[in-house]
Amino acid sequence: MMKSSGDKMRVRKAVIPAAGLGTRFLPATKAIPKEMIPIVDIPMIQHIVEEAVRSGIRDIVLVTARHKEAIENHFDYNYEIEDTLEKKGKQELADLSKAVGKLCNLISIRQKNPMGLGHAVLCAQPIIGNEPFAVLLGDDLIDSEIPCTQQLIDLYHEHQASVVGVMEVPMEEVSKYGIVGGKMLSERLMHVSHLVEKPAVGQSPSQFAIPGRYVLSPTIFDCLKNTKSGKGGEIQLTDGLQLLAERERLLAYQFMGTRYDTGDRLGFIDATLAFALKRPELAPGVRELMKKHLK
């Protein structure tokens, strides 16, 4: 059946770049992908995939690299584990393992050279084609009632314009992020006219930072093809977005939710404690442990 153009403009796919070496988490990442490091007992990438799935997305494009096969295996069935558990009558555990296999369609494509985040997103073009899509970066966990990606998708559908999620950060932290500048349209929504990747303090267009959530029109691919290498000699997604903002409307939305920077050691511990305290079976024990360590 032919798809109507209305269908075509709906966001159905998400790209998760996962080709990085994860050197910030060495030695943990020497033999396992950093995306597989768990927050409590759920690998970081599963938290990210679950956000996409809760936002109505089933097709996840993983931009991957050598030595990342563990991620693909994680989102598949594991007959050995599941069959053994079932035979032992441990159905609940078997179902827990199977549920991850059922979560999504994982489609992977390799980023053969580490040429930056913008280049990683461009690698997904053969799978995304001419459709809008979400991008979720694996180092940022966002805890919110309505998933952050869902918030951005709703705005994309309403305005038919690309949207990046933003949060306000202290001035001394602007150089850790892509920063947007533009005109506020309402309390949380901005029409973006310019973006800077990791500006120096004092040269930032605002304090609105992009913590790794985007919903983009396919025009971004053409923009990324024309993006010259920027910060760190890499093709930056933020620079591609600058070209997009010059060609099409680009919005920034101050999303609702709490964000954890799990790419940073303290942020990782913060997320671990927060997610453990949300689990009724773990919370009392974790509180006791915290009291013990603070003595």
Residue 99 gets which letter from DSSP?
H
- Residue 116 C-beta: closest distance to ligand G1P, Å: 8
- Residue 198 C-beta: closest distance to ligand G1P, Å: 7
Window contacting ligand G1P (CB under 6 A); options: 41-49, 134-142, 150-158, 182-190:
134-142
d(CA 53, CA 285): 30
The residue of the chain with the least Cβ separation from ligand G1P equals 178
Select 18 or 94, whichever has its Cβ closest to ligand G1P: 18
Is 97 exposed, middle or buried (CB count within 10 Å of its CB: 0-12, 13-18, 19+)?
A: middle
Select 100 or 220, whichever has its Cβ closest to ligand G1P: 220
Per DSSP bridges, beta strands 250-254 and 208-210 are: unpaired
Look at the block and give the residue holding tokens 């800077």.
Answer: 196
Stretch (H or E) spanning 232:
none
Select 91 or 113, whichever has its Cβ closest to ligand G1P: 113
Helix (H) and strand (E) counts for the chain?
12, 14
Return the residues of window 157-186 that contact ligand G1P according to CB under 6 A.
Answer: 177-178
* Window 184-223: contact mask with ligand G1P (x via CB under 6 A): -------------x-----------xxxx-----------
Residue type at 147? Answer: P
Beta bridge partners of 221: none
User: Which one of 35, 51, 82, 140 is in contact with ligand G1P (CB under 6 A)?
Assistant: 140
Select 10 or 225, whichever has its Cβ closest to ligand G1P: 225
Return the residues of window 2-61 that contact ligand G1P according to CB under 6 A.
Answer: none
What is the Rg, in whole angstroms, of the alpha carbon atoms belonging to the chain? 20
Closest-CA residue to 62 (of 13, 114, 3) = 13
3-state secondary structure (DSSP) of residue 110: strand
- Residue 139 C-beta: closest distance to ligand G1P, Å: 5
Six-digit token string for 130 = 């001419």
Window contacting ligand G1P (CB under 6 A); options: 6-14, 26-34, 86-94, 137-145:
137-145
Select 4 or 226, whichever has its Cβ closest to ligand G1P: 226
Select 100 or 123, whichever has its Cβ closest to ligand G1P: 123
Is 221 exposed, middle or buried (CB count within 10 Å of its CB: 0-12, 13-18, 19+)?
A: buried
- Residue 17 C-beta: closest distance to ligand G1P, Å: 9
User: Which one of 64, 149, 204, 238 is in contact with ligand G1P (CB under 6 A)?
Assistant: 238
d(CA 239, CA 244): 9
d(CA 188, CA 30): 41
Window contacting ligand G1P (CB under 6 A); options: 146-154, 231-239, 266-274, 275-283:
231-239
137 binds ligand G1P (CB under 6 A): yes
3-state secondary structure (DSSP) of residue 197: strand
- CB-based contact 48:149 (threshold 8 Å): no
Select 121 or 155, whichever has its Cβ closest to ligand G1P: 121
Window contacting ligand G1P (CB under 6 A); options: 88-96, 157-165, 234-242, 280-288:
234-242
The contact set with ligand G1P (CB under 6 A) reads 117, 137, 139-140, 177-178, 197, 209-212, 236-238, 263
